[in-house]
A = this chain, B = another copy of it.
């Protein structure tokens, strides 16, 4: 399709060339030559260039069809129900921000920001994530505590890998707690939320890795990494879920100029995984214990595990020193949920080519987040800090998995919730159908009729089968005379006469699930 767009563009330009020559009364020879080029381009299109434009969505984007929307709605409902259960409010922000609001927040990835054309007025960019607009919102409204979720589309001029669920326009689904609170209580709630959502969505077994930026920084310090290399070495550690330790070490030593000894020491630490016990052991570790930062992080990990035990979720949580996460702005605990089952092969393939640390940090990553206590202060004129901790649900990957599951399931995805079709068995009963369906709508019943004066009964019944409508109210002359409606159950073909007076309660009784 991309090629077709290029040809279309070439046709447009060539068309202008021809028009210009004609208007300039150029020689017939010259005109003919350019017209020939134009025809050749049109021939390449295959349809004689009759199409005025290419019928497609922009690169890296897609329409959602009704079936995809039905799945999307189901996933959103599960997630929103969880956020609401935890008392979250919701906000919304514009799809674009002042360009300068986004400047300096995304490091190298800034090149992926979509800018709007300068049509006079402010310079604007499409939002790149929901976290920076959230921080801008807090600073602008001087809000110091809030628990909010925000589900909306964000935009990245990334290399799309659409078959693997990666788009230039995609949803983010964020839950954050802002405010000065006692240590690890909101952090533990974020992990409880991830646990609840992944359980409820039934995506298969999962694991939630946790670590702390202060532990990583302390570890780098005691291993002899120079201060100014913390962030870049951290980025390299972050690749451990996609690269072997050997390759990571090579990058540290060869590309980033770390000593082999320091790299080996890091290598020892980042291979460690465990629970509260590991945190306790590292607090005793003769090297790690030299870093105040690391000790603060380790104590918080211990506290976090204590709270997670009370939430009964420690079975899925692992303290993993190799977890680093891509974004610069994390300042404390970080975490990431991964699906551990087979069946996430496609996700694994994707991760291989992935350069986007935030969206698909590891094989089957479906949620991630952490504490970022400094971001809001970047927006506040007086630099006031608003500590924040949050989690982002990897909703696009979850959509893909749910779509694959729906595809594999024998059960059909219904795209409407229609309970009953109002049908007629004979001709000339449109008015009676309209009257009846109006009664049903007014009673809150989801009902459809065919937009034909005299539809065949068979085609009405077939429509119900296809659309999964469970009931049919059939009107015929006899039924009208008797003051009844023939109620047909589509699945069993059972039919029973119901009096008009009882119809609504009978439909409700039969369709309440």
Contacts and interface: CB of A to CB of B under 8 A. Distances in A.
Contact of A451 (B92, B119, B155, B179): B179
Contacts of A453: 182, 185
A118 B196 CA distance: 43
A177 B69 CA distance: 18
Contact of A137 (B8, B63, B136, B146): B63
Given A87-B446, A438-B192, A438-B312, A121 B59 contact: yes
Contacts of A72: 92
A92 B117 contact: no
A105 to B, nearest CB: 11
A182 B451 contact: yes
A310 interface: yes
Contacts of A328: none
Interface stretch (A24-32, A95-103, A493-501): A95-103
A91 interface: yes
Contacts of A57: 93-94, 97-98, 140
A274 interface: no
A213 B256 CA distance: 71
A448 B63 CA distance: 38
Interface in A28-72: 47, 50-59, 61-66, 69-70, 72
A310 B438 CA distance: 8
A441 interface: yes
Nearest to A120: B157
B310 A85 contact: no
B310 A434 contact: yes
Given A116-B115, A434-B310, A95 B55 contact: no
A124 interface: yes
Interface in A450-503: 451-453
B310 A446 contact: no
Nearest to A152: B153
A66 B56 CA distance: 36
Nearest to A133: B63
A310 B442 CA distance: 13
Contacts of A276: none
A445 interface: yes
Contact of A186 (B54, B137, B451): B451
A373 interface: no
A441 B116 contact: no
A169 B95 contact: yes
A431 B310 contact: yes
Interface stretch (A204-212, A217-225, A319-327, A415-423): A415-423
Contacts of A416: 84, 87-89
A146 B415 CA distance: 11
19 contacts: A47-B381, A51-B381, A52-B100, A53-B98, A53-B103, A55-B379, A56-B98, A57-B94, A57-B140, A65-B91, A66-B90, A85-B447, A86-B446, A87-B418, A116-B117, A119-B157, A188-B434, A189-B451, A307-B434
